[in-house]
């Protein structure tokens, strides 16, 4: 059974979150999604008051297909990183050509933040087709241009922060993040405490 991963950056604000389209996923596969929690005033990563909760709804109705609590991942080496896995099976009520809404809610210092994402299921998956490997590097300002590790990077198809999110992750020790992307124009955003980045960076992925 193939596991398809969604990485969701979840920046905590008192206001409601945004809804991004996560694309198409394989029916009878499993989806693993994560949330990285940030404190709204400082922007720094932080653990939530408790594990974030999630619910998966029918996109056009109120039927709930899955609920649960996300688990803190590798607490000794990460801050505010949670994940959960849901099996997209017919046994759990998912169907061919299904349209769903993933809702995540977390609380930090009694302030509630939410985020939602939309996705669909099919017999197969189109997520892995026509993808191009692209490595994005975050460095300090010229002329030093020193790679910066542990930078939160998220990618959108909009020039508005957090709108139409398609990917998120962290740079490695070389300041790099390698993504499998469909051809198109994307906007890369970077954030790390103590650093000021010029956001967004426009990147065009060409077909190979």
Q: What is the DSSP string of 132-172?
A: EEEEEE-BPSTTT--B--S-EEEEESSSSTTSSEEEEEE--
Does residue 33 have a pLDDT over 50? yes
Whole-model pTM: value is 0.54
Report pLDDT digits (tens) over 178-196.
887 778 899 999 999 889 8
Tell me: cis bond preceding 172? Omega within 30 of 0 counts.
Answer: no
* Alpha-carbon gap, residue 88 to 29, rounded angstroms: 6
- For the chain, list the domains and their CATH numbers: 3-122 (2.60.40.10), 132-205 (2.60.40.10)
């Amino acid at each position: 059974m193939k596991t398809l991963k969604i990485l969701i950056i979840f920046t905590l604000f008192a206001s409601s979150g945004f809804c991004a389209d996560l694309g198409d996923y394989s029916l009878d596969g499993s989806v693993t999604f994560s949330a990285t929690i940030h404190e709204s005033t400082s922007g720094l990563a932080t653990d939530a008051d408790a594990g974030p909760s999630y619910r998966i709804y029918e996109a056009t109705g109120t039927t709930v297909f899955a609920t649960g609590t996300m688990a803190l991942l590798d607490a000794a080496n990460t801050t505010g990183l949670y994940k959960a896995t849901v099996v997209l099976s017919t046994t759990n009520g998912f169907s061919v050509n299904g349209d769903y809404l993933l809702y995540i809610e977390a609380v930090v210092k009694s302030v509630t933040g939410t985020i939602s994402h939309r996705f669909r299921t099919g017999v197969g998956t189109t997520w892995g087709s026509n993808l191009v490997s692209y490595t994005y590097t975050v460095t300090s300002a010229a002329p030093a241009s020193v790679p910066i590790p542990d930078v939160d990077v998220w990618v959108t198809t909009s020039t508005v922060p957090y709108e139409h999110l398609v990917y998120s992750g962290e740079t490695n020790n070389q300041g790099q993040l390698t993504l499998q992307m469909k051809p198109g124009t994307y906007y890369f955003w970077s954030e790390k405490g103590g650093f000021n980045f010029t956001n967004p960076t426009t990147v065009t992925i060409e077909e190979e």
